Amino acid sequence: MNFLIIFLIFLNINLVFSANILAIFQYPFYSHQFTNQKLMKELALRGHNLTIFTSHLFNYDNLPNVIQHHFKDSSKINDKYTNMLEYKQKNLNWFQIDQRELKTYYETTKSEILHPEMQKIIKNNEDQKFDLIIIECCFCHLIFLAEIYDCPVIYFGASDVSFIWHGLMGNDVNPALYSDFQLIPFLHRHLTFFERVQSLI
């Protein structure tokens, strides 16, 4: 009888495997952050310990296993250098737009790497360990943290990514079948044979 009771107790024990996860969602647009927030909340509810760096803070219902750090300057920097309406009004060409975008990425990267809490993560005083890093793949300048913490990385995208990022993630994409999302004329429609060739080139 005692054996049966002990067996039933062990049968009902749920093992919990929780991980320490570093999540970095640096892209300064709310639309990108919204999908990340849902994923993080579900991971936290499943018992994982989350350290989140984000440009938009969210309410996680005071979950004790969630620590958020705010990249508050990212949105300000983005607003300063990136203005689609201005691009259109000034009739800027792609080269001029790329120059502004590169300036935006540079300033944002500098701001995020110099963030005091990120500096603590980078310097790694050996008292912190991460089992996994989740990084938004729009521009992932903080990928080197995987080397510091010797852990795997998951690239996370709120929208489709270019062929370059698919290649980095190990996803094979046949450019003859699917056009790169950055090739604007070929988006959201069926392509003719010659358009597929042009997309491939």
- What pLDDT, in 10s, does the model give residues 98-150? 787 788 888 888 888 899 998 988 887 667 889 999 988 766 778 888 888 88
**Pair of tokens at residue 25:** 């969602």
Asked whether the predicted pLDDT for residue 35 surpasses 80, the reply is no
Determine the Cα–Cα distance for residues 80 and 31; give it in Å rounded to an integer.
19
* pLDDT value at residue 132: 92
Instruction: Say how many residues make up the chain.
Output: 201
- Under 8 Å between Cβ of 53 and 112: yes
* pLDDT value at residue 48: 92
**Pair of tokens at residue 51:** 């350290």
Beta-bridge partner residues of 68 = 52
Spatial CA neighbour of 157 closest among 176, 135, 141, 142: 135
Asked whether the predicted pLDDT for residue 84 surpasses 70, the reply is no
CATH topology of domain 16-159: Rossmann fold (3.40.50)
* Location of structure tokens 């991980």: 19
* Terminal Cα distance for the chain, rounded: 74
Determine the Cα–Cα distance for residues 31 and 135; give it in Å rounded to an integer.
16
Give every strand in the sheet of 20-25, ordered side by side. Answer: 66-70, 49-54, 20-25, 132-136, 153-156
**Pair of tokens at residue 176:** 């003859």
Average pLDDT for 43-49: 90
Asked whether the predicted pLDDT for residue 195 surpasses 60, the reply is yes
**Pair of tokens at residue 41:** 């909340």
26 membership: H or E segment, kind and range: none
The SS3 of residue 92 is coil
